[in-house]
């Protein structure tokens, strides 16, 4: 996890547009057919403690392109099903079956005991929301976070989607969060440093006069044959994040942006993280590889638009 740093005062423009999210019932874990390859934690929940390299081989990168493409396809399928009245457990079923159909293991399943095949984080839930019996309501926003394991490697991607008629401030939040992710992506260049990503994201978020905050407690990460490697990608400027980008490095950029202050708390399930204020939060994520020219996004579908474009927010005035 990232270290905390002093935060600027963030203003909150209005009360939360919806009541607090309440936990629903969690259904039993969904089975994975025996013929599908599994990560090391699939049985006992414990990820490997072995050291992982930051730079991938050409073979690993090509396999990650396939895993990333499949993750993007699953994410598109799940996001297309988002509508008023659907349960997040049903979204998990859709994502689970979409993964299995593509001969993929849904990476979140039993990772450190996580009980479901994807994460669904609604409204003020920052990340790691567990799919359950709660039905999506008109005006909600939801982040769907999909990771799949295929042919020995992982692909990780997420998108925040609007549910029905969503208020303008929440739409603005989603738009700003997506722009922040792309600011971070655009900052990656061979010879640059990891802290360039956080600097760019901070600059993008701070353009909006203190309206939005950046979550510090959850960050991007290295990825490859392991779901999370030791490479850490803060979404805020930390001068200590001085790792130099090298061609072949693979990692995620996945900023979590809040309306107002980014202080958080956890439910006693030890997974669900929420804003202290009850204000909403959004997230977008891609997996990428450093190239000689910058980065290639690995979590793009083979055909059509990625979820972040397909379900993009209609432009609102982000400075209003």
Binding site, residues?
Answer: 128, 145, 156, 221, 228, 254, 285
Q: Enumerate the known binding-site residues for substrate.
A: 128, 228
- The whole-angstrom separation of Cα 6 and Cα 263 is 12
Structure tokens belonging to residue 133: 């019996």
Which residue is associated with the tokens 């030890």? 270
Angle between helices 88-101 and 58-80 (to 10 degrees): 140
- The whole-angstrom separation of Cα 270 and Cα 63 is 32
Helix count and strand count (H, E) for the chain: 5, 15
Torsion over CA: 173, 174, 176, 180 (sign): positive
Torsions phi, psi of 159, nearest 5? -150, 145
Torsion over CA: 60, 32, 267, 10 (sign): positive
Query: Any idea what DSSP says for residue 135?
Result: B
- The whole-angstrom separation of Cα 125 and Cα 134 is 13
* Cβ atoms of residues 254 and 284 within 8 Å: yes
* Cβ atoms of residues 135 and 73 within 8 Å: no
Q: Enumerate the known binding-site residues for a divalent metal cation.
A: 145, 156, 221, 254, 285
């Amino acid at each position: 996890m990232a270290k905390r740093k002093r935060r600027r005062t963030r203003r909150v423009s209005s009360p939360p547009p919806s009541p607090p999210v309440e936990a629903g019932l969690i259904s039993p874990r969904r089975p994975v057919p025996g013929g599908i390859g599994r990560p090391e934690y699939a049985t006992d929940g414990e990820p490997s403690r072995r050291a992982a390299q930051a730079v991938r081989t050409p073979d690993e990168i090509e396999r990650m392109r396939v895993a990333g493409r499949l993750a993007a396809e699953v994410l598109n399928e799940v996001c297309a099903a988002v509508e008023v009245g659907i349960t997040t457990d049903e979204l998990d079923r859709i994502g689970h079956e979409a993964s299995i159909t593509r001969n993929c293991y849904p990476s979140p399943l039993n990772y450190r005991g996580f009980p479901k095949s994807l994460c669904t984080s609604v409204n003020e839930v920052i990340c790691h929301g567990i799919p359950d019996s709660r039905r999506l309501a008109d005006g909600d926003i939801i982040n769907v976070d999909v990771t799949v394991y295929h042919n020995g490697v992982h692909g990780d991607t997420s998108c925040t989607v609007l549910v029905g008629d969503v208020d303008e401030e929440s739409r603005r939040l989603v738009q700003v969060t997506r722009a922040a992710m792309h600011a971070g992506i655009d900052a990656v260049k061979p010879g640059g440093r990891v802290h360039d990503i956080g600097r760019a994201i901070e600059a993008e978020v701070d353009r909006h006069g203190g309206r939005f905050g950046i979550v510090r407690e959850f960050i991007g990460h290295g990825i490859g044959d392991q779901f999370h490697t030791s490479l850490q990608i803060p979404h805020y400027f930390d001068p200590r994040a001085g790792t130099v980008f090298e061609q072949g490095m693979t990692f995620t950029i996945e900023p979590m942006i809040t309306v107002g202050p980014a202080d958080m708390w956890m439910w006693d399930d030890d997974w669900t993280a929420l804003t202290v204020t009850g204000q909403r939060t959004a997230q977008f994520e891609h997996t990428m590889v450093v190239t000689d020219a910058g980065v290639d996004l690995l979590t793009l579908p083979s055909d059509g638009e990625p979820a972040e474009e397909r379900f993009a927010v209609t432009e609102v005035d982000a400075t209003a």
